[in-house]
């Protein structure tokens, strides 16, 4: 903080910091003879705090001060309270709950990670024309307990309205029965100004249904998996206990809490019995769509209860809507998973006994996040935490803030967030200060990894998460996917060393730039020698292996083309079911579309079978799931014990949707120069993208009716763009300046060009991803598991009809099915 703090941290002498302890209520009365010209309240806590003054809650933050690496950085929010001060008696008060500083964090069932007791810090700065007076937390404060009987982020809050002292936060209250406070020792130099938007109540959702379950329970469905809590108004007899159990999912007609593991996620309200009472818990939040309500007097009505969505109050900056409802839902799911996992810290999930700042998750999702919301505040603050913890311990923690029992070791995608996140933010916002601020942390990490390389230049030792949650990994070993973990590590190192070299160059550190460029060369050469054949086949033949080699520019041009073809064949062979985890998923569609396999990228994106991008959407998902099959086709929950329904990492494909369907690519960091190149496919007929860049608003829309394409583009002052008009018959490019532009033109008649029948040869079909897909799917319905090879030499001249003569048992029904499958793709309009 700019000024030396005068306050101290105080706690009730009776506080123990133990589980289920009532929240601390603190107050101090003071008299003023004159009104100050300005009054500022700075308030924070070890725990979470709700500040009160003269009978009212101060500010609109919730769960303040959020979660940072408290020992190094404890944020002190400021509130202008000039209008709340009166001449005469005033009261400064606060309720302090356990929050992240004391409550249990992580699945190891450990609590008190930062503090033994809850503590309040406050400074009320009163400015007069001739002087400044400061009322600060000290031993003049008095303490008691009130309605908040217990509060836990994971387990929920219990509030007994009968025990709330009336008027405790206003002047004239008799606090003679209240106890004393004592000073808690805490490093005051850790106090820092707010760097991120606070957590706020951002939206309210009404129930979409109130259900009576088969067992007779009342369940409220809010229609959306969200982070927050509920607020209700009830009229009940004194002592009535209303319990609210939160869940993401219902199975067999009942709420199912399997996905939240040991988190109790249960709030309880005990009524005072004096007319209508409204309550919302203060010191907890849950990840939920359903709430089971127990003890409600009479019938619960739709207007009695609402869900209050809470998260860091960032500015929304990105939107995409297409003609396909399933894709729109996928996009919405990514947006919601982002919102739900930005409650102060970018977390893996918001519901179970975890909710940690997992580095790999945000690394995978960062480009998407930075498009959807302005994340400079939240992620900038988080990167500061990462850097201070890295400096203190010598390693980048796997979770930031770090609460794991054991020290983390360097891993690809997780720890290398230290490099790739500042880089992603720089790409989005174009501000070199982001790189300068993170430079020490970035270089420290990359040099640490450089020292671990083997003689060949490969990152071939040590623990790696690999392609985490590859759907083919054993259920109990999510790191044991198909793709060699050290291949993944060395590939990511090719990426991060390139980012480092570019960063050093931007910051004018040419010696470092040369060092990191040489490192890239070394690792890339070693990677190619170890994992890539001369023609471009990648060891292990996995989708992720190919995607990384292509996307991270590890291959030469000829190898890249071949690798692209092999990748396209692999995804087709898998029936466009997804086969990648955290490492490969953000890149596979790019690797396809960048090597001329746009159709395959769309087929992958739009597949609905399990596992696939859209499978969860077809199962009613309203957020992105942790596993491709968190809920299995039979409706049961994946029994692995790690099955959140709200994990943004696998939603990273949305970044490809923004660039490829929406068509917006920043050619220069910060969008001063753009490429606008929507690439229609997948039978989409329209898309509308909007993005608020640091330069201003960009809008891109395209729509295809019959054979007419209409494209609209708006770009802000001070920017230019090259526009590649989608499906234009002559492949036209335009240069544009700021303003609004529109083009209308006829596209080639794709229908005639793509006519497939039983007379088509197998080669003709296999050359067209959509046709081959339709054909092989229809064939597999009759002959499951029988392979078809469109690249066999005889496929070049053998028609489908001829082939059928060689298929024993080929029925008329099969012929008809094949004919109609081929007809259906003949009519499609794609690039
Ligand atoms: C988290 C992940 C995380 C992973 C790494 C899980 O428990 O939920 O998303 O990245 O652990 O170990």
The CATH number that applies at residue 478 is 1.50.10.10
What's the pLDDT at 829?
A: 40
CA distance 768 to 825: 10
- CATH number, domain containing residue 263: 2.60.120.260
Local structure of 159: helix, strand or coil: strand
CA distance 100 to 81: 27
- Whether residue 296 is contained in a domain is answered as yes
Handedness of CA 450, 451, 454, 455 (dihedral sign): positive
What's the pLDDT at 807?
A: 84
- Cβ(669) – ligand 1 distance below 6 Å: no
Both 305 and 363 in a single domain? no
Both 395 and 350 in a single domain? yes
Domain that holds residue 134: 9-196
DSSP string, 92-121: EEEEEE-HHHHS-BTTTTB--SS-SS-EEE
Domain boundary among 175, 196, 217: 196
- Whether residue 756 is contained in a domain is answered as no
What's the pLDDT at 1?
A: 66
CA distance 410 to 400: 14
- Whether residue 298 is contained in a domain is answered as yes
Domain boundary among 645, 662, 679: 662
Both 541 and 449 in a single domain? yes
Task: Identify which of 250, 255, 356, 267 has the alpha carbon closest to the alpha carbon of residue 308.
Answer: 267
- Ligand 1 center–CA 354 separation, angstroms: 9
| Strand ranges inside 237-301, DSSP E | 241-247, 249-251, 254-256, 266-270, 276-279, 286-294
Both 204 and 188 in a single domain? no
Task: Answer for the pair 770, 599: CB distance below 8 angstroms, yes or no.
Answer: yes
Q: What is the pTM of this model?
A: 0.94
- Ligand 1 center–CA 350 separation, angstroms: 12
CA distance 619 to 561: 36
What's the pLDDT at 547?
A: 98
- Cβ(267) – ligand 1 distance below 6 Å: no
- Whether residue 652 is contained in a domain is answered as yes
Per the structure, the count of domains in the chain is 5
- Ligand 1 center–CA 224 separation, angstroms: 23
- Whether residue 3 is contained in a domain is answered as no
Task: Please identify which of the residues 197, 354, 515, 764 carries the catalytic annotation.
Answer: 354
- Whether residue 831 is contained in a domain is answered as no
- CATH number, domain containing residue 711: 2.60.420.10
What's the pLDDT at 223?
A: 98
Per run of 10 residues, the mean pLDDT along the chain (length 831 residues) is 83 97 98 97 98 98 98 98 98 98 94 98 97 97 98 98 98 97 96 95 98 98 98 98 98 95 97 97 98 97 98 98 98 98 98 97 98 98 98 98 96 98 98 98 98 98 96 93 97 98 98 98 98 98 98 97 97 95 97 97 97 98 97 95 96 98 97 98 97 98 96 98 96 94 89 74 84 86 82 81 84 87 69 35
- Whether residue 687 is contained in a domain is answered as yes
Nearest atom, ligand 1, residue 107 CA: 7
Both 538 and 550 in a single domain? yes
Both 214 and 354 in a single domain? no
Both 648 and 768 in a single domain? no
Both 412 and 559 in a single domain? yes
Both 722 and 633 in a single domain? no
- The tokens for 590 are 């790019």
- Cβ(648) – ligand 1 distance below 6 Å: no
Task: Identify which of 644, 639, 684, 678 has the alpha carbon closest to the alpha carbon of residue 661.
Answer: 678
Long-range contacts of 211-214 (CB under 8 A, 24+ apart): 213/250, 213/253, 213/254, 213/255, 213/292, 214/252, 214/253, 214/254
Task: Identify which of 525, 536, 549, 541 has the alpha carbon closest to the alpha carbon of residue 458.
Answer: 525
- The tokens for 385 are 């935490």
Both 192 and 258 in a single domain? no
CA 8 to chain centre: 36
Both 370 and 391 in a single domain? yes
Task: Please identify which of the residues 50, 280, 626, 764 carries the catalytic annotation.
Answer: 626
- Cβ(358) – ligand 1 distance below 6 Å: yes
What's the pLDDT at 827?
A: 59
Axis-axis angle for helices 359-372, 585-594 (nearest 10): 60
Domain boundary among 179, 196, 213: 196
Task: Identify which of 122, 127, 151, 124 has the alpha carbon closest to the alpha carbon of residue 137.
Answer: 122
Task: Answer for the pair 552, 593: CB distance below 8 angstroms, yes or no.
Answer: no
Beta bridge partners of 52: 57, 93
Instruction: Give Cα separations from 37 to 9, 80, 130, 769 (angstroms).
Output: 27, 11, 10, 71
CA distance 175 to 168: 8
- Ligand 1 center–CA 443 separation, angstroms: 25
- Whether residue 301 is contained in a domain is answered as yes
CA distance 32 to 669: 53
Both 169 and 70 in a single domain? yes
Q: Is 354 assigned a catalytic role?
A: yes
């Amino acid at each position: 903080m700019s000024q030396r703090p005068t306050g101290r941290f105080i706690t009730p002498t009776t506080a123990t910091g133990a589980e289920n302890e009532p929240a601390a209520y603190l107050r101090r009365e003071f008299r003023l003879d004159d009104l100050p010209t300005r009054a500022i309240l700075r308030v924070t806590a070890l725990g979470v705090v709700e500040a009160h003054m003269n009978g009212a809650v101060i500010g609109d933050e919730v769960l303040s001060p959020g979660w940072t690496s408290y020992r190094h950085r404890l944020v002190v929010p400021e509130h202008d309270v000039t209008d709340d001060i009166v001449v005469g008696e005033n009261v400064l008060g606060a309720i302090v709950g356990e929050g992240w500083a004391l409550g249990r964090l992580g699945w190891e069932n450990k609590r008190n990670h930062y503090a033994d007791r809850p503590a309040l810090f406050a400074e009320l700065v009163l400015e007069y024309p001739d002087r400044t007076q400061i009322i600060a937390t000290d031993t003049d404060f008095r303490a008691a307990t009130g309605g908040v009987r217990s509060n836990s982020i994971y387990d929920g809050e219990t509030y007994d309205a009968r025990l709330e002292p009336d008027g405790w936060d206003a002047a004239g209250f008799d606090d003679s029965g209240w106890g004393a406070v004592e000073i808690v020792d805490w490093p005051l130099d850790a106090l820092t100004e707010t760097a991120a938007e606070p957590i706020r109540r951002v939206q309210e959702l009404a129930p979409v249904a109130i259900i009576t379950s088969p067992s007779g329970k009342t369940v409220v469905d809010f229609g959306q998996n969200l982070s927050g809590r509920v607020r209700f108004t009830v009229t009940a007899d004194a002592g009535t206990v209303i319990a609210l159990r939160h869940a993401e999912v219902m199975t067999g007609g009942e709420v199912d809490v399997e996905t939240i593991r040991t988190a109790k996620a249960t709030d309880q309200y005990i009524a005072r019995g004096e007319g209508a009472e409204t309550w919302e818990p203060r010191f907890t939040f849950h990840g939920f769509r359903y709430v089971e309500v127990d003890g409600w007097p009479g019938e619960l009505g739709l207007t009695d209860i609402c869900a209050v969505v809470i998260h860091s109050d960032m500015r929304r900056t990105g939107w995409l809507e297409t003609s396909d409802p399933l894709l729109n839902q996928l996009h919405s799911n990514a947006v919601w998973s982002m919102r739900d996992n930005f409650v102060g810290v970018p977390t893996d999930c918001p519901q179970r006994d975890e909710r940690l700042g997992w580095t790999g998750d945000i690394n995978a999702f960062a480009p998407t996040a930075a498009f959807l919301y302005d994340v400079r505040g939240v992620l900038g603050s988080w990167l500061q935490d990462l850097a201070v913890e890295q400096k203190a311990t010598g390693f980048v923690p796997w979770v930031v803030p770090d609460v794991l029992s054991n020290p983390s070791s360097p891993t690809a995608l997780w720890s290398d967030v230290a490099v790739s996140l500042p880089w992603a933010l720089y790409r989005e916002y174009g501000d070199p200060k982001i790189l300068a601020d993170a430079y020490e942390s970035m270089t420290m990490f990359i040099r640490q990894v450089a020292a671990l390389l083997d003689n060949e230049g490969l990152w071939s030792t040590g623990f790696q998460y690999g392609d985490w949650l590859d759907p083919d990994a054993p259920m109990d070993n999510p790191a044991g996917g198909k793709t060699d973990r050290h291949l993944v590590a060395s590939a990511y190192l090719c990426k991060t060393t390139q980012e480092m070299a570019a960063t050093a160059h931007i910051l004018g550190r040419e010696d470092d730039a040369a060092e990191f460029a040489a490192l890239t060369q070394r690792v890339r050469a070693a990677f190619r020698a170890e994992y890539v054949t001369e023609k471009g086949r990648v060891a292990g033949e996995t989708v992720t292996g190919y995607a990384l080699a292509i996307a991270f520019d590890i291959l030469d041009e000829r190898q890249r083309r071949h690798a692209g073809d092999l990748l396209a064949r692999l995804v087709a062979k898998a029936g466009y079911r997804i086969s990648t985890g955290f490492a490969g998923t953000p890149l596979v569609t790019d690797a396809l579309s960048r090597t001329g396999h746009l159709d395959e990228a769309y087929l992958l994106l739009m597949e609905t079978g399990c596992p696939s991008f859209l499978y969860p959407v077809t199962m009613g998902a309203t957020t992105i799931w942790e596993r491709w099959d968190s809920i299995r086709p039979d409706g049961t929950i994946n029994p692995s014990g790690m099955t959140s329904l709200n994990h943004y990492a696998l939603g990273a494909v949305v970044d490809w949707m923004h660039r490829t369907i929406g068509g917006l690519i920043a050619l220069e960091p910060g969008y001063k120069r753009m490429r606008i190149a929507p690439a229609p496919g997948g039978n989409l007929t329209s898309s509308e993208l909007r993005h608020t860049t640091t330069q201003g608003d960009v809008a891109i829309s395209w729509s295809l009716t019959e054979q007419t394409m209409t494209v609209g583009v708006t770009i802000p002052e001070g920017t230019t763009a090259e526009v590649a008009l989608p499906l234009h018959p002559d492949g036209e490019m335009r240069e544009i300046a700021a303003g609004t532009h529109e083009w209308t033109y006829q596209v080639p008649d794709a229908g005639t060009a793509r006519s497939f029948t039983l007379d088509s040869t197998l080669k003709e079909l296999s050359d067209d991803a959509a046709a081959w897909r339709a054909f092989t799917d229809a064939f597999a319905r009759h002959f499951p598991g029988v392979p078809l090879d469109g690249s066999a030499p005889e496929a070049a001249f053998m028609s489908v009809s001829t082939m059928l003569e060689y298929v024993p048992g080929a029925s008329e029904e099969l012929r008809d099915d094949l004919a109609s499958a081929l007809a259906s793709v003949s009519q499609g309009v794609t690039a």
